[in-house]
Amino acid sequence: MGADPQDLKYKGERTSLIIGENVTIRELATVHRGTVGGGGATVIGDGCLIMATVHVAHDCRLGPGVVMSSYAVLAGHITIGEGAIIGGLTAIHQFCRVGPHAFLGGFSGLSKDMPPFMAGGAGGGRHLVISGPNSIGLRRRGVPQATIDALKGAYNIICRNHRPLGEVLAETEAKYGAVPEVRTVVDFYRSSERGVYR
């Protein structure tokens, strides 16, 4: 915990690793400090579970309640939203974001952002496939069925066609924009710098 960042720009500056309360970090996991260029800190939120052999690189930020399964690896500058679950043997490219309460299946590779409240995985191939809302995880957290249904409707509009992103986001907003979780999804797509899986 708190080893020097594996970044060639790091020249021994004073940086930190901040670990919240009730965090479990298992054997052989590595979590590195931040870099000056990345804000100076790597942050692990309250209640996270970091299973054995996980790697969390410099300047990553894990929200509360994140679960990272064994052999998952995060490159630098990654943000993982509250309650997200990262499957084992998963690798995430630097500067990517995983939205809150997303579920990323094992043996996946992520090179773009993973939308909030959605589930996805390698889908038997090399490309990530978004399969719909993370219904099981959302039910476990007490999310009402009406909200899950709205997220499913948003998924159908955004992810199940090839129309331009701006067009499908506007349609989603018009149809389901009153649901805060759907607003979060729409805003997440609009704010992405790397692109978001559809």
Q: List, by residue number, the catalytic residues.
A: 58-59, 76
Task: Estimate the crossing angle of helix 180-191 against helix 165-176, to 10 degrees.
Answer: 160
CA-CA distance, 2 to 174, in Å (whole number)?
A: 46
Helix (H, G, I), strand (E, B) or coil at 169: helix
DSSP 24-93: EE-TT-EEB---GGGTSEEEE-TT-EE-TT-EE-TT-EE-TT-EE-TT-EE-TT-EE-TT-EE-TT-EE-
Tokens standing for 135? 């219904």
Find the angle CA(168)-CA(138)-CA(150) to the nearest 5 degrees: 30
CA-CA distance, 182 to 156, in Å (whole number)?
A: 12
Tell me which H or E stretch contains 186. helix 180-191
Find the angle CA(68)-CA(117)-CA(131) to the nearest 5 degrees: 90
Residue 99's nearest CA partner among 190, 185, 172 is 185
